[in-house]
Structure 1
Amino acid sequence: MELESAPLSASSKDGKSIRQNGGSVSTNHLSSSKEVEKKQRRRRCWFICLGLILFVLAIAIILLVLAFTVFKAKHPVVTVNSINIKDLNIDLDILRLQVHINVSLDIDLSLKNPNKVGFKYTNSTSSLEYRGKVVGEFPIPAGKISAGKTVGMNITLTLMADRLLSNAQLYSDVISGNMSLSTHTRISGKVHVLFFKVKVVSYTACDVNVNVINRSITDMDCRYKTKI
Structure 2
Amino acid sequence: MLGFTNTSIETQFASGGGGRKERRKRNRKICIYFTILLILLIFIVFLILGFTIFKPKRLITTFDSITVEHLQSSLDPVSVRFILNLTLHVNLSLKNPNHVGFSYDSSSALLNYKGQLIGEAPLPANRVGPEETQPINLTLTLMADRLLSESQLFNDLMVGVIPLNTFVKVSGKVRVLKIFKLKVQSSSSCDLAISVLNRNVTSQNCTSQIK
Secondary structure of 1:54's aligned partner: helix
Give the partner amino acid of 1:27: E
Count of residues in correspondence between the two structures: 210
Match of 1:182 in 2: 165
Does the alignment pair 1:125 with 2:108? Answer: yes
Alpha-carbon shift at residue 97 of structure 1 (Å) = 5.1
1:220 aligns with 2:204: yes
* Aligned equivalent of 2:24: 41
Q: Is contact 1:11–1:18 with CA below 8 Å preserved after alignment?
A: yes
Structure 2 unaligned runs (5+)?
none
Does residue 105 (structure 1) correspond to residue 88 (structure 2)? The answer is yes
- Which of 43, 51, 54 is 1:60 aligned to? 43
Post-superposition offset of 1:36: 2.3
What's the Cα RMSD here? 1.9
The question of 1:11 aligning with 2:9 is answered no
Amino acid at match of 1:18: N
> C-alpha distance in 2, partners of 1:27/1:162?
103
* SS of residue matched to 1:26: helix
Q: What SS is found at the alignment partner of 2:86? A: strand
Name which one, 1 or 2, has greater alpha-carbon Rg: 1
Calculate percent identity across the aligned residue pairs: 39
Larger relative contact order (CA 8 Å, sep ≥ 6): 2
* Separation (CA, whole Å) in 2 of partners of 1:108 and 1:127: 13
Pick one of 148, 151, 156 that aligns with 2:131. 148
Paired position in structure 2 for 1:4:
none
Range 208-217 or range 34-43, more displaced: 34-43
Native 8 Å contact 1:70 1:116 kept in 2: no
Instruction: Give distance in 2, aligned partners of 1:90 and 1:35.
Output: 100
> Structure 1 residue 138: deviation in Å?
0.1
Partner of 1:84: 67
TM-fit CA distance, 1:129? 0.4
Normalising by structure 1, report the TM-score. 0.86
What residue number does 1:51 align with? Answer: 34
User: Which deviates more, 208-217 or 30-39?
Assistant: 30-39
Provide the TM-score with structure 2 as the length reference.
Answer: 0.93
Moved over 3 A (4+): 93-97
